[in-house]
Amino acid sequence: MLYFAAFIFGSIWGSFCNVCIYRLPDNGNIVKNRSFCPSCKKKINWYDNIPLLSYVLLQAKCRNCNNKISFQYFLVELISAINFTTIYFLYGISITTLLLIVLSIFFIIIFFIDLKHYIIPNELTFPLMVIGFIKSFDPNLNQMIFPNYINSLIGGLFGYSIIWLIIFLYKKIRNKEGMGLGDAKLMGAVGFWFGWASIPFIIFISSVVALVIVIPSLVNKTKSMKAQIPFGPYIIIGCLIYVSFANQIKYFIL
């Protein structure tokens, strides 16, 4: 029952993630206004807004205008539900579970916003930095995953600085913008959450994953070298891989 509850609770938060993904890039209010259809703008009734289930029952169409509902809504809710269930399975009822659930919510929203709009809103990265640093003062946290406050502070500054330096050097050499400061802030947040030791690994893995995904589109010429590439999702993928193998990685780095 607890696993089922985690899955349902996760899908509900996934629905909230969808609201943030849709409204944050347009500076929309994510709390006061009820959900509405992006096509006909009519408000969605509660029975048509049940996470996962409504999408299936409505056959991915709006009840009012019959326009197709993006699969992204279902996918985000499903990912969130699986995340909550997996985190609970690994860490049970604990502070670690609560923190990783909070982080997963932020990551899902950032992932899909950056993927679509090529931006990472400050409304997401700044709270992540604050939470990541504040939690490091708790001596009872899982030390295999989370750093102490000194390590956290160094990690935050190191994460932001290294991406900022890459942006600065790229602009000096190529005389144009490369990565955005949103990526630097996201890496800073990751540093606050997981310490300085996580940064080299996450940068390396995220770069490798980005290359593996982008190179085929460059080869078949569906994208050019000048095409805009969102790096935030790759940072998140690198971070997830780091968290999954944190013990082994720290053993080799430290």
Q: What is the pLDDT of residue 191?
A: 96
Residue 63 corresponds to which tokens in the numbers above?
């009840």
> Given pLDDT bands bounded at 50, 70 and 90, which one contains residue 229?
confident
How far is the C-alpha of 94 from the C-alpha of 55, rounded, in Å?
A: 32
Q: What is the DSSP letter of 17?
A: H
> Given pLDDT bands bounded at 50, 70 and 90, which one contains residue 234?
very high
- Considering 54-63, 172-181, 215-224, the range whose residues carry the highest mean pLDDT is 54-63
Task: Specify the higher pLDDT residue, 170 or 52.
Answer: 52
Can you tell me which residue has the tokens 């050019």? 224
Q: Are 170 and 212 in contact (CB under 8 A)?
A: no
Q: What is the pLDDT of residue 194?
A: 95
> Is it the case that residue 246 has pLDDT exceeding 80?
no
Q: Are 160 and 173 in contact (CB under 8 A)?
A: no
Q: What is the pLDDT of residue 250?
A: 58
In percent, how much of the chain has pLDDT > 90? 59
Can you tell me which residue has the tokens 């500054």? 157
Task: State the chain's mean pLDDT as an integer.
Answer: 88
How far is the C-alpha of 229 from the C-alpha of 21, rounded, in Å?
A: 18
Region 67-95: mean pLDDT is 94
How far is the C-alpha of 204 from the C-alpha of 201, rounded, in Å?
A: 5
Q: What is the pLDDT of residue 214?
A: 82
Region 110-133: mean pLDDT is 95
Backbone angles phi, psi at 24, to 5 degrees: -60, -45
Region 241-253: mean pLDDT is 71
Q: Are 89 and 148 in contact (CB under 8 A)?
A: no
Q: At what angle do helices 198-219 and 149-174 cross, to 10 degrees?
A: 40
What is the SS3 assignment for 68?
strand
What are the C-alpha distances in Å from 118 to residues 113, 171, 205?
7, 18, 20
The neighbouring-strand residues paired with 61 are 68
Backbone angles phi, psi at 36, to 5 degrees: -140, 160
